[in-house]
Chains A and B, each alone.
Chain A
Amino acid sequence: MTVVTQQIDSYLESFARFENSAPGSGQGWARSIRQAAITRFSELGFPTIRDEDWRFTSVAPIAQADFKLARDGRFALSSREIGQFTFPGLACSQLVFVNGRYSPELSSLGLLPNGVTVGSLAWFLDNDPDLAEPHLARYADYQQDAFAALNTAFMEDGAFVHIPRGTVLPEPIHLLYISTAAGAPLITHPRNLILADEDSQATIVEDYVSLGSGVHFSNSVTEAVLGQNSVLSHYRLERESKEAFNISTLRFQQGRSSSLASHSVLLGGALMRNNIHPALAGEGCDCLINGLFMATGRQHMDNYMKVEHAGPHCNSRQFYHGILDGRSRGVFHGRIIVHKDAQKTDAKQTNRNLLLSENAQIDTKPQLEIYADDVKCTHGATIGQIDEDAIFYLRSRGIAEESARALLLFAFAGECLQRMKIEPIRKHLEALVTQWSPLGKLLEEAR
């Protein structure tokens, strides 16, 4: 415990140096949010496995490490190095963040309708904070969550997106977060704010990658506010190196009749925590939480879902598939909260897991908290191996055993990918997923 305490001190010292030069430090409200957050972080400390929400995941390697803020480095990256992270065939705006900071040189804006704002949060905090102020740090709960508190205290840069009323974005926005290897382990706190006003529609892709190897820690928070009748598709792709730590919080605030689709494909990181927390606040919201996590080696992937029904007549659907190989460990924590006024809630949660090795492990925990009396909530979790009956069936039709295994493995992954509507994104994710396993080659040959 003493080690942990020391590192908290070092965060406090680091904060003292950071605070005055932070973006938006001239704004009183931003300063006070940061100060409240660091105070709360120092009170909370890092969670331990005695904390119910962290029972299956020890963050001791994070708590004990001495991370440095990646602040002013200018990292010379060429657009060629960025090229490997694009989605082939996808016309989009691409914002690139290198070690947490927006890189205008590497970024490119595509087709954006009038009135749409896409840019660096740091710039807006310094120059044009009025749009952000009513929303920033109002949803992601830094009072309860130490990592959200840490992010909020150190929030510096990330994407700021505003889609005005009635506007439809014709192309997705690809947000690319690159962590580069450096001498000392770096920590970044990407902070994103997405405002989708009434009747607007947008697709946003958050993509976390590493260049080179080395330990780094991405502690990101995204807040998205969906106005009445708006439609937001959000994708999150985690493909950082196997040495990376990644803690991510997605916090969606849904207004009346809004529709959210949140898709996650999680492949990278040594220790990864994926918090997804939509609040269906208005009446008649629709929410899809769709995810695929694939771990191998000693990777640890923890998915913490908190679907909060606050308004009546809302639907939520959660589909999470886990594939675990090697000595990896997976966690799925699916919490559904139905508040007193959320009558006629229809909430469904499914978590299915495939264990490919004897040493892989999954803990899955559904949790329903229902305070309304006229609701429909279902949950189901399965853990299993590849179905040997299905293998035999495929083989009996001439398909070789290894190919049959590949087919079934990627069919399982494919059920999640099928829900992703934008074809170039889905195709590229399919390709990444196929490369994940040596069995993928067989599948490509069969195509």
Chain B
Amino acid sequence: MLEINNLHVKVGNQKILKGVNLKVNAGEVHSIMGPNGSGKSTLAQVLAGREGYEVTAGEVIYEGKNLLEMPPEERACAGVFLAFQYPVEIPGVNNAYFLKAGLNAIRKYQGLEELDAMDFLPLVKEKMKALEIDELLLNRSVNEGFSGGEKKRNEVFQMSVLEPKLAILDETDSGLDIDALRIVANGVNALRSPDRAIIVVTHYQRLLNYIIPDYIHVLVDGRIVKSGGKELALELENKGYAWVEAEIHTAAPANA
């Protein structure tokens, strides 16, 4: 589904990603872990198409197409979804209108009929219930005045409505208490299916107790330096990222 080959990304003069390779197949859940500043969020943003990042080398192939050439809205229409680390507040645009506009743009692109309010409302209300989100949120402005936890839940709610093929969660767990974490994880798990892939970007192992990944990759200084199964998370939890960093300094060069 997704193939990242030798991706190099610069922001201004600073090299952030220095040759990332990653292959994600449909049905898989991958977790990208790493210390702060290692480039995790940059990778997520670049996949979603944010401006301000310069790709200096490498490619990203999504379902056979060059993802990097697609504008953000086309990526969304083609099934890519990013749950933001810092969801944006948009005063004056109400949540229901925003979500319906997004859903209908995606449906139109996919050749499906657009939903009217009569079809849309029952759909979103059902999803809200599952995520224990108050229905009043629909009439509020997007993320405006939401608590940190509400914003993160709103991201997962949007994801559950838009039903992407490739979902990327950028530190969706940070700032959540254990109850909210469980709700968010349930929302993500409900989306797991053989034709979908999920990439969970996180700093902490905690979320991975609830969303069990098939693969874990450790990103350090712009490169994936270690990959493994879910047991890698525990090892990281016990030994910390310094352990990986020490290991790569003593072992062969990481780009091998």
Contacts and interface: CB of A to CB of B under 8 A. Distances in A.
Interface stretch (A63-71, A216-224, A251-259, A407-415): A407-415
Contact of A397 (B91, B92, B98): B98
Interface stretch (A76-84, A116-124, A158-166, A384-392): A384-392
Contacts of B90: 387, 390, 393-394, 408, 411
A398 B102 contact: yes
Interface string A160-199: 0000000000000000000000000000000000000000
B48 A399 contact: no
A127 interface: no
Contact of A399 (B89, B102, B158): B102
Contacts of B242: none
A3 interface: no
Interface string B201-216: 0000000000000000
B187 interface: no
A11 B87 CA distance: 60
B219 to A, nearest CB: 21
B88 A398 contact: no
The size bracket of the interface on B is 20 to 34
Q: Chain A binding site: helix, strand, loop or mixed by DSSP?
A: helix
A398 B51 contact: no
Interface string B140-174: 01100000000000000010001000000000000
A314 to B, nearest CB: 27
Interface stretch (B68-76, B121-129, B223-231): B68-76
A392 B92 CA distance: 16
A242 B90 CA distance: 32
A361 B109 CA distance: 39
Interface in A243-267: none
Contacts of B101: 397-399, 403, 407, 446
A407 B93 contact: yes
B158 A397 contact: yes
Contact of A396 (B72, B103, B142): B72
Interface in B48-101: 48-51, 71-73, 75-77, 81-82, 84, 87-93, 98-99, 101
Given A394-B98, A395-B72, A411 B51 contact: no
7 contacts: A387-B88, A390-B90, A393-B142, A397-B158, A398-B102, A400-B73, A403-B105
Top 5 A-B pairs ranked by shortest CB distance? A411-B92, A397-B102, A398-B105, A398-B76, A395-B72
